[in-house]
Each structure stands twice: as structure tokens, then as C-alpha cells.
Amino acid sequence: MPKLLDDFKKDFPDTWQAYEKLKGACDQAGPLDTKTAELIKIGISTAMEHQGGVFAHVSQARKAGATSEEIYHAILLATGLAGFPAALAAFASAKEQLEN
């Protein structure tokens, strides 16, 4: 995924900058701290079955101070809404990143 993302940024720099600006505005729009926001994004990525999102937000959550237990809990919270297969796939992505 990182190469694909790098290619997108290179091919569409204005679009990438607009996306980054929107994402930043959303991140700053409310009272949630970065760790909490990243844990929510892990849950959303799990529910959407977006493994690239799980990978990216696990990394960001760790940088914000989230523990492995908090990250796994965010994935488990999505199980009832997203279903077990989506949660299991997200768990696999998170476990790979957390253990490497």
C-alpha cells in the first residue's frame, strides 16, 4: 500500500493536499484527543473492511500512546456491527503491525 500511496501523491498532488487539509480540519474540529480519535478510526476501518486504514491508524494510535490492548479493544468493539470476518481480518493486520 505505501508504494501505491506514494504514486497517488506524486500523480495527484493537489488532490492529496486537499485530502490532507480536510482530514486535518476534521481531526481538529472537536474535543477528542489524538489517541481516542485514532482508536475510533481503527474501529471505522474495521467496519469498512479497509485493511490499509487499519494498518495506518494502528501506527498513528501507537504514536499517540495507545496500548496493544486498547487497539485490540477498538477492533473488538466493531465486531457486533461489522461482523466477525471483518474483525478477524483487522485483528490480523493489527497483530502483524504490533508484533513487527
Query: Is residue 71 pLDDT above 90, yes or no?
Result: yes
pLDDT for 16 equals 95
Containing 91, the helix (H) or strand (E) segment is helix 84-99
pTM, two decimals, is: 0.84
Structural domain boundaries of the chain? 1-30, 32-100
Rounded to a whole number of angstroms, the distance between the first and last alpha carbons of the chain is 17
Interval 30-47: pLDDT, tens: 999 999 999 999 999 999
66: alpha, beta or left? (left if phi > 0; alpha if psi -120 to 50): beta
Q: What is the pLDDT of residue 1?
A: 59
Question: Residue 100's pLDDT band (boundaries 50, 70, 90)?
Answer: confident
Contact 46, 86 (CB under 8 A): yes
Fold that domain 32-100 belongs to in CATH: AhpD-like (1.20.1290)
Q: Name the residue with cell 493537489.
A: 14
Q: How big is the CA angle at 54 (ends 50 and 59), to the nearest 5 degrees? A: 150
